Each structure stands twice: as structure tokens, then as C-alpha cells.
């Protein structure tokens, strides 16, 4: 069994409209929500063995805060191909970087994250900022992840829940 935690980055700041989209940081609420979600994962014994994150500043900050809050010990792999990624890019990143890890977390952006969850599980769900979709896959190898009959959406957590 493999677990995927699909997380949309936390709330970003629009305070400075001159900052390029890729470089926008988190706002204070985003920082708090990311920490809350990381602590929740630790409490549920779902600390990721691997973190994959978009290179966008808001995603990088989200990944680091979640990693610290859930006491993740592995490095975060930052991938430019996860910035505004299509579902196929997300799947490729998982297959390329996830080796023997049981639980991985992918942090990125909508609409790709919602589409990835839908394609993988067949469920249509909204992912507000800092939300996490917990997906279980009855596979022993990450390459078999795309076989939808082996994949299910176990839970969806939103910061306001």
C-alpha cells in the first residue's frame, strides 16, 4: 500500500502586485494553515517519507512549514515541473522521484492538483488553499499508480475543518 498526500499550497499574499506569480510568498494566514495541517498529519501518523514541491515561493514555504510541523526528516525535492503542472506532470514526478517510500506528499497548484485527484480517484473535489487529499493506492510500485481501480480517496482535510 502506498499513500499520496496531495496538498495545494497555503494562502499566498497579493500585497505587492509587482511580484511575479512564481515569487509570491505566503500570507500570515497561509503560514498558520500550513503549520496546522502539518501538525494534523503528525497526529494522524501520516508524516511523509518524501516531499515533492513546486518551485513557486508559496509552495516552497508551505512544504517547509508542513515538514517542520510534522517532524519530517527527509529533504524536500523542489521541481519546476510542478509549477502549474498538469496531472500527467504530477504523475511523472511521483514515478521519477518516489522509490521505496510508503507515504509521499506533493505540494502544488490548482487547477492541476484538483484534476490529478479527480483523474486518480474518480472523485471531483475542491482543494482550497492548504487542503490535503489523502489517497491510498493498493500498489507495490509507484509505476502502477495510474491504474484507477487500485486507488481511493481516503480523506480530504481543509484547514477550516
* Residue 158 in domain: no
Whether residue 161 is predicted with pLDDT greater than 90 in this model: the reply is no
Which strand ranges, in their side-by-side order, compose the sheet holding 151-157? 76-79, 50-54, 103-108, 2-8, 132-137, 151-157
* Residue 144 in domain: no
Whether residue 145 is predicted with pLDDT greater than 90 in this model: the reply is no
Range of the domain at 39: 2-13+21-138
Contacts of 30 (CB under 8 A, 6+ apart): 9, 10, 11, 12, 13, 58, 61, 62, 129, 130
* Residue 35 in domain: yes
Looking at residue 98, what is its pLDDT?
94
Neighbour count for residue 3 (Cβ, 10 Å): 17
Q: What is the CATH number of the domain that holds 101?
A: 3.40.50.1240
* Residue 58 in domain: yes
Q: For the whole model, what pTM was predicted?
A: 0.95
Q: Which residue has the higher pLDDT, 127 or 149?
A: 127
* Residue 152 in domain: no
The residue among 130, 133, 119 whose CA lies nearest residue 86 is 119
* Residue 123 in domain: yes
Q: What is the spatial distance between Cα 9 and Cα 61, in angstroms, rounded to a whole number? A: 8
* Residue 31 in domain: yes
Straight-line distance from the first to the last Cα atom of the chain, in angstroms, rounded to the nearest whole number:
27
Helical ranges in 44-111 per DSSP H: 57-69, 87-97
Instruction: Name the domain count of the chain.
Output: 1
Confidence of residue 113 (pLDDT cuts 50, 70, 90): very high
* Residue 150 in domain: no
Amino acid at each position: 500500500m502506498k499513500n499520496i498526500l496531495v496538498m495545494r499550497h497555503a494562502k499566498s499574499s497579493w500585497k505587492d502586485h509587482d511580484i511575479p506569480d512564481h515569487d509570491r510568498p505566503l500570507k500570515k494566514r497561509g503560514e498558520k494553515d500550513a503549520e496546522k495541517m502539518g501538525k494534523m498529519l503528525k497526529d494522524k501518523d501520516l508524516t511523509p517519507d518524501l516531499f515533492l514541491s513546486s518551485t513557486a515561493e508559496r509552495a516552497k514555504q508551505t512544504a517547509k512549514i508542513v515538514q517542520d510541523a510534522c517532524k519530517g526528516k527527509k529533504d524536500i525535492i523542489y521541481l519546476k515541473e510542478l509549477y502549474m503542472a498538469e496531472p500527467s506532470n504530477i504523475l511523472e514526478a511521483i514515478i521519477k522521484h518516489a522509490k521505496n517510500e510508503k507515504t509521499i506528499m506533493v505540494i502544488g497548484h490548482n487547477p492541476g492538483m484538483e484534476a490529478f485527484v479527480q483523474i486518480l480517484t474518480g472523485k471531483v473535489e475542491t482543494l482550497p488553499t492548504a487542503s490535503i487529499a489523502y489517497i491510498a493506492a493498493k500498489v507495490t510500485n509507484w509505476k502502477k499508480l495510474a491504474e484507477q481501480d487500485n486507488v481511493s480517496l481516503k480523506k480530504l482535510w481543509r484547514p477550516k475543518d
